[in-house]
C-alpha cells in the first residue's frame, strides 16, 4: 500500500482530463472573425487583402470580443485606434461571434466542473488501495509505486539529486 502524494493525484487528474476529448474553439472563432471582417472591407481594399504580397500595407488591429479576448483583423484605417467589435464585424457578425464564444465558454465550464469533481473525488483518496476500491475503473491511471531508499523521505528529491550526479558522501 503506497500513499498517493498531491503530485500523484495531480498527475492522475491531468491524465484523465487528457483522455477526455475537447475542442479548442479559439482558432475557429479567430478564423470566423477574420472572415467576417474581411467580408466587410470595400471591394478594392479586399483585393489588396487577397494579395498576400501587399496585404501588409493594410491596417490590422486588435478587436476585443467579450468573454473571449482579442482577435486580430483588418479594419478601416480611418477608424479610431480602439475599434469596437460592432464597427469591425457589424451587428450580424458580432451576434454570430458572440454565439460562438458563448458555446465555447459553456464547453469550458463543463470541462472545468468535471475537473473540479475529479479533484474532489481523487483528493479524498490517500492510498493506492483506497483508489482501487473507490475508483476501480480508473486504476490504469495510478502511477507505478516508486520505492524510495531513504525512508521516511516524503519525496523523490534524493533519488533525483543522485541521478543528476549528487554524491552526499563526497567531500566538499
Please give the Cα distance from 144 to 24 (Å, whole number): 32
> What Cα–Cα distance (Å) separates residue 2 from each residue in 22, 56, 82, 160?
32, 60, 57, 19
Q: How confident is residue 78, by pLDDT bands cut at 50, 70 and 90?
A: low
pLDDT digit string, tens, across residues 11-60: 999 999 988 888 878 889 999 999 999 998 889 889 989 998 988 888 78
pTM above 0.75, yes or no: no
Q: How confident is residue 170, by pLDDT bands cut at 50, 70 and 90?
A: low
pLDDT digit string, tens, across residues 112-169: 999 999 999 999 999 888 999 998 888 888 987 644 444 555 567 667 777 777 676 7
Amino acid at each position: 500500500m503506497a500513499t498517493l502524494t498531491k503530485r500523484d493525484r495531480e498527475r492522475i487528474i491531468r491524465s484523465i482530463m487528457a483522455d477526455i476529448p475537447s475542442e479548442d474553439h479559439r482558432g475557429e472563432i479567430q478564423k470566423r472573425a477574420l472572415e467576417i471582417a474581411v467580408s466587410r472591407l470595400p471591394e478594392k481594399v479586399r483585393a489588396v487583402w487577397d494579395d498576400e504580397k501587399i496585404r501588409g500595407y493594410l491596417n490590422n488591429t486588435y478587436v476585443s470580443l467579450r468573454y473571449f479576448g482579442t482577435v486580430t483583423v483588418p479594419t478601416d484605417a480611418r477608424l479610431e485606434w480602439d475599434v469596437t467589435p460592432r464597427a469591425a464585424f457589424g451587428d450580424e457578425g458580432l451576434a454570430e461571434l458572440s454565439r460562438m464564444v458563448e458555446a465555447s465558454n459553456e464547453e469550458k465550464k463543463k470541462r472545468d466542473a468535471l475537473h473540479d469533481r475529479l479533484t474532489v473525488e481523487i483528493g479524498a483518496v490517500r492510498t493506492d488501495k483506497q483508489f482501487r476500491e473507490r475508483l476501480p475503473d480508473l486504476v490504469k491511471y495510478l502511477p507505478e509505486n516508486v520505492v524510495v531508499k531513504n525512508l521516511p523521505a516524503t519525496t523523490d528529491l534524493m533519488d533525483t539529486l543522485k541521478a543528476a550526479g549528487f554524491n552526499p558522501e563526497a567531500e566538499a
